[in-house]
Amino acid sequence: MSAKIRKLIVQVDETRVEMGQALATPTRKAVAMAVIENPYAGRYAENLDELVAIGEELGGLLGGKCVQALGIAPAQAHSYGKAAIVGSAGELEHAAAILHPRLGAPLRTAVGQGAALVPSAKKIGGLGAAIDVPLGHKDAAYVRSHFDAIEARVADAPRAGEIVVAVAVTDSGRPLPRVGGLQASEIQGKDGLR
C-alpha cells in the first residue's frame, strides 16, 4: 500500500555567516518531512511489510523534495540522513521498518549515488517532538567535515496514530570545519567509508 500522507514539510537552512566569518559558499541543509498514518497503530503486528513499502516510497519522495528545494543537480548533494518519530500508539520497530530495509535505495537515486551508510535516528514522541537527524557524507562515512545534524520537527505531529518521517540532504558540510580528519577532496568513494 502507499503512504497516507497528511502533511509534507520542506525546510532549507542556509548559513551565510558563522561567528562573524562570511562563508565563501553558504552551507545549505534541507530536510523534508512527511506526516503519515501508521497502519499498525494500537496493535502488535508481527509482519511490518506495509511500512517497509512506505519507506521505499518516502525515500524517493522526500529525497527528491530536498534536492529540489536546494535547487541542485542530484550529484551535487554532499551528505544525507534519515529519521522517524513514531506517535504514541506505535512502537519503535515501526520506525525501523520504514527507515532500514528499503528507504535507502531510492534516496541514493535521488542524490545521484551514495556509497555510504545513511545515518539515522528514531524515537517515540508526541506533537511537536524534535528529532536531530544525523548527517554524514554520502560517499564516505569518515569525512569529518560533514558530520553534522539537522533538527526535524512538525508542530502538530505525530498524533498518536501517526509517524513523522524525515529525510535530510545537504550541498555542503559544516560552516567552518577545522577539526581535521578525512577531507571530502581525499575520498575514494568506493567502500562507503573513505
Partner 1 sequence: MIEIRRVFTQVEDIFHEFGPAPARPLRRGAIGAVLTNPYAGRYVEDILPAMQALEPVGIDMARQLLAAMDVPADSIQGYGKGAVVGEAGELEHGALWHVPGGYAMRELLGWKGDRKADAQTGQHGNALAIVPSAKKVGAPGTTLDVPLIHINAAYVRSHFDAMEVRVPGAPRAGELVVVLVMSTGPRVHARVGGLTAAEISKWDGQR
To the nearest whole angstrom, how small is the minimum distance from the Cβ of residue 46 to partner 1?
A: 28
Q: Whose Cβ is closer to partner 1: residue 77's or residue 141's?
A: 77
- Selected from 108, 122, 146, 153, the binder of partner 1 by CB under 8 A is 153
Least CB distance from residue 145 to partner 1, whole Å?
19
Cα 166 to the chain's mean position, in Å? 5
Place of cell 518519530: 85
Task: Work out whether 5 is an interface residue with partner 1 (CB under 8 A).
Answer: yes
Stretch binding partner 1 (CB under 8 A), from 4-12, 74-82, 102-110, 112-120:
4-12
Please tell me whether residue 15 binds partner 1 under the rule CB under 8 A. yes
Q: Residue 103 Cβ, how far from partner 1 at the closest point, in Å?
A: 20
DSSP lists the bridge partners of residue 83 as 121, 166
Beta bridge partners of 132: 151
In the complex, what is the shortest distance from the CB of residue 7 to partner 1, in angstroms, rounded to a whole number?
Answer: 5
Here's the x/- map for partner 1, 119-138, by CB under 8 A: it reads as -----------x--------
45 binds partner 1 (CB under 8 A): no
Report if residue 11 touches partner 1, rule: CB under 8 A. yes
Encoded one letter per residue, x for contact with partner 1 by CB under 8 A and - for no contact, window 65-104 reads ----x-----------------------------------
63, 100, 65: which is closest to 79 by C-alpha? 63
- CB of 124 closer than 8 Å to CB of 85: yes
Per DSSP, the residues of 115-182 read -S---EEEEE--TT-EEEEEEEESSBTTBGGG-EEEEEE-TT---TTEEEEEEEEESS--SS--S-SB
State how far the Cα of 194 lies from the Cα of 188, in Å rounded to an integer. Answer: 6
Q: Which of 1, 13, 105, 190 binds partner 1 (CB under 8 A)?
A: 13
Tell me the C-alpha distance between 127 and 78, whole Å: 31
Contact positions toward partner 1, by CB under 8 A? Answer: 5-18, 69, 130, 150-151, 153, 155
